[in-house]
Amino acid sequence: MRRTSSPPGPALRVPAGSPPAGSTAPACGPPSPPPGTPTPPPPRPLLTSVTRTLAGALAALHAHGFTHADVQPTNIRITPTGTGVLLDYALACGPEEHQGRLPYRGALTHTTAPELATELLATPEHTHVQVQPPADIWALGATLFWCWTGQRPIAYRDDVDAGREGMLRDIADGRDLRNITAARPWSFLELQDIVTACLARDPRVRPTAVEVQEWQQTHLC
């Protein structure tokens, strides 16, 4: 599994045409598939399938007391048939942390939940921060937002010059989310409802992974 220590470039933007059939790719577009590669599904079914499979992966983890703790676009692989596979469990947090593990100090800044950003800023550098399921759900919403629109969900201050710490502070302080209606390339109101619910600032009102699955089955099928 590949780890990325620095933030990646632009997230996958699902265009009006055919989406990529490999791992998630920059907005500039994926490489041409080799001859004989199945034609990938159109973007709406692709986003529906990715939502379903990612929510299912998180539901299984959460049911056993684990969190992924690193949900982000570059940790998703898209199969040629449009199934999203969640990768890279290196930072996963379990119900019983062992002394030998490296302390969790966050993953990709742009998919960090507000409550997690607050705790990271408030604790010493080598203090382990335990990720809870609602933070995974916020990261899921941020990932879907980014993959759909090609934009990060947080509208950071224009004058932020403090690097990661400054961005975490914007997230923790409740910096406004980008307007998804203005950012989306095309309308998909059912998915928009899911993304908006996942990105609720209060972790207590976010849906669980199972509820995202059920919502998807009811509204996106």
Q: What is the CATH number of the domain that holds 180?
A: 1.10.510.10
Q: What's the residue count for the chain? A: 221
pLDDT confidence band for 88 (50 / 70 / 90): very high
Two structure tokens written together for 168: 């975490």
Two structure tokens written together for 131: 């990720």
Residue 4: inside a domain, yes or no?
no
pLDDT confidence band for 37 (50 / 70 / 90): low
pLDDT at residue 54 in the model: 94
Residue-by-residue DSSP string for 65-126? T-B-----GGGEEE-TTS-EEE---TT-B-SS--TTSPPP--S-GGG--HHHHHHHHHS-TT
pTM beyond 0.85: the answer is no
- Domain total in the chain: 1
What 3-state DSSP class applies to 132?
coil
Collect all residues with Cβ–Cβ distance below 8 Å to 190 and sequence separation of at least 6. Answer: 219, 220
Residue 121: inside a domain, yes or no?
yes
Express each pLDDT in 187-196 by its tens digit.
Answer: 999 999 999 9
pLDDT at residue 162 in the model: 62
Two structure tokens written together for 147: 């993959």
Residue 17: inside a domain, yes or no?
no
Q: Percentage of residues in the chain with pLDDT exceeding 90?
A: 52
- How many Å apart are CA 64 and CA 79, to the nearest integer? 26
Residue 183: inside a domain, yes or no?
yes
Two structure tokens written together for 216: 């998807």
pLDDT at 178 over 70: yes
Residue 6: inside a domain, yes or no?
no
Residue 11: inside a domain, yes or no?
no
Residue 18: inside a domain, yes or no?
no
Q: Which domain holds residue 154?
A: 43-92+103-219
Residue 28: inside a domain, yes or no?
no
pLDDT at 177 over 50: yes
